[in-house]
Amino acid sequence: MNNPILKSFKRMNERYHEGHEKIPRQDMLFYSLQMFTYNLEERDFILDVGCGDGDTIEYFIMNNFRCMGIDASIDNLYLCRKKGFEVYPFDVCNLYMFDNESIDNIFCRSVVNHVYDLDKSLDELTRILKKDGKIFLGVGINKDGKFNPNWRNCFEDDVEFIDRLKIRGIKEVNSKMVDYQTWRYLDFVGVKE
C-alpha cells in the first residue's frame, strides 16, 4: 500500500476500533470524512472541533485543505503540535476566540454527546459558521431505548437531533445512520442558511 492517505486511514481505523465493537462494514471514519469533504474546494478552510490526536487534521491537509484543530485535551494538543499542526484548547460551549460567521467549514465528530450544555455548544458552532458554510456532526443515537452510559447527551432518534439543527438555520444536505449492536451513529452534513 503506497498511498499515504490509505496508510493513514489504516492506522486511524486500527486505533479507532481499539475497545470499540468491530464494524463489519467499511471504515466509518473514512466515509465520514469523504461525506464531509464532498464538494469542498481545494484550499478551503476547515475547523476540526475535537481534533483528537490529529489524524483527521492529517487527512484534511493531505487532501489540500487548510485546517486548524481545537480540542479539550491537553494531551491531544501536545500530540498535534508535535506533528506540526495548528491547534488550540477549547470549550465548545464557549468559542469566544472566533467571531460570528468567521469559519468556512466545521468538522465535529464524537463531541456533542459529551458536552455539558448541548444547546450552548450547538449555538456556538452555528454562530461561528459562515452563511453557506458546511458543518459535519457525528453523533451517537440510542438504539432500542438503551442509553449509552458514556454519553452525557443522548438522543432518542436522528429526527430529535436534526430538529435541533434546523431551528438554528442548518439545512440538511446529507445524513447516514450506521447501526452497531447496542447503539447507532448518525453522520450529518448540513449548510447554514
CATH code assigned at 127: 3.40.50.150
Over residues 146-160, the mean pLDDT reads 73
Is pLDDT of 96 > 50? yes
Whether 18 maps to a domain, the answer reads: no
* Amino acid 147: pLDDT: 61
Cα(first)–Cα(last) distance of the chain, in Å? 41
* Amino acid 84: pLDDT: 97
Whether 167 maps to a domain, the answer reads: yes
The boundaries of the domain holding residue 156 are: 4-13+23-183
Who wins on pLDDT, 43 or 180? 43
Kindly give the pairing relationship between strand 45-49 and strand 170-179.
unpaired
* Amino acid 13: pLDDT: 47
Model pTM?
Answer: 0.85
Whether 61 maps to a domain, the answer reads: yes
Whether 188 maps to a domain, the answer reads: no
Residue in the structure block whose three cell numbers are 475497545:
19
When divided into structural domains, the chain yields a total of: 1
Whether 189 maps to a domain, the answer reads: no
In the chain, % of residues over pLDDT 70: 81
Whether 193 maps to a domain, the answer reads: no
Whether 87 maps to a domain, the answer reads: yes
